[in-house]
Amino acid sequence: MSLDATNELGAQPRRNVSELQQSGKIKPVPFRGGGFVHSRHRFIAPILFVVLVILWEIGSQTGFISNIALPAPSEAAGAMSDLFETGMIWNHLSASLYRLVVGWSLGSLIGVFVGLAIALFSLVRAGVSPFISALFPIPKIALLPLFIIWFGIGEGSKVATILFGVFFPTVIATYGGVDNVDRNLIRMGQSFGLSWISIVRKIIIPGALPAILSGFRISASIAIILLVAAEMIGAEFGIGAYILMAGALFATDQLIAGVAMLSVLGLTVGWLISRAEHMLLSWRA
């Protein structure tokens, strides 16, 4: 084949395209990609939230939404500002935060330790993990009466409920995380003569950290649920007690205010954990 011939062959498609374009017998290959990709829209959620609240307010003002079924946002805001004026919000918030922080921290701390022990020592795993599996599915709120007998009606029983609720998922997240640490990395540590404690501290725990932190995310929401439940049974102060009292009086504006507090609490906790992930797992990018 001569060079000219190849040239001609090479040029052929281009000539055809222009011919076909003129004749109108040509169309682009239909595009089928795209979609299924997340792009960031930072302002959509706040705007949507504000729009919904405005619509709700308008609905309530015009009587489209019955005041008995749902109070207007402005009424809920009024209940909220009452809380601030009387200073009661600090009583409720501090009581709730105390229980949440103490219960969650202790539960997480003990949970991580027990999880590590289960993952690292086969004797502990054989002995303890069946109990964990058996106790994990029990709704801890069902044990509250027992906790009241054991730890008293005061703070003890509430903190204990949260502590136990947080403990089990933390244990499971921790030992699952350790089990998933790349064995080759551990072999590497051994082959360089690292001590057992160094392998645990520098290879196993950092390797399990992503799983532990996502466990924290779950245990924190469990803690908030249990907090409210425990406060609904025999507490003077606390967000749960406030909501229960509002419900009993059918003060729906206060009820909505209480629920809003819980939502803010949950968002704050989620944000804190995101910060922690960002700081501790920066290597993942």
Q: DSSP secondary-structure letter at 193?
A: T
**Minimum Å distance from CB 284 to other proteins?**
8
Whose Cβ is closer to other proteins: residue 166's or residue 208's?
208
Q: For residue 146, what are its two tokens?
A: 């027992």
Q: What is the closest distance, in whole angstroms, from the C-beta atom of residue 121 to other proteins in the complex?
A: 21
CB of 188 to other proteins, least distance (A): 4
Q: Which residues bind other proteins (CB under 8 A)?
A: 182, 184-185, 187-188, 190-195, 198, 202-203, 206-207, 209, 281, 283-285
CA dist 68 and 76 (Å) reads 13
CB 115 within 8 A of CB 174: yes
Number of H helices, E strands in the chain: 12, 0
Q: Smallest gap, in angstroms, from Cβ of residue 281 to other proteins?
A: 8
Which residue number, 162 or 203, has a Cβ lying nearer to other proteins? 203
Tell me whether residue 94 or residue 190 sits nearer to other proteins (CB atom).
190
Q: Which is nearer to other proteins, 187 or 278 (CB)?
A: 187
In degrees, rounded to 5, the angle at the alpha carbon of residue 4 between the alpha carbons of residues 2 and 9 is 100
Q: Which two tokens stand for residue 12?
A: 């052929």
**Distance from C-alpha of 148 to C-alpha of 206, rounded to nearest angstrom:** 38
Nearest-angstrom CA–CA distance, 12 and 48? 55
Shortest separation between residue 272's beta carbon and other proteins, angstroms: 21
**Which CB, 133 or 190, lies closer to other proteins?**
190
DSSP 69: T
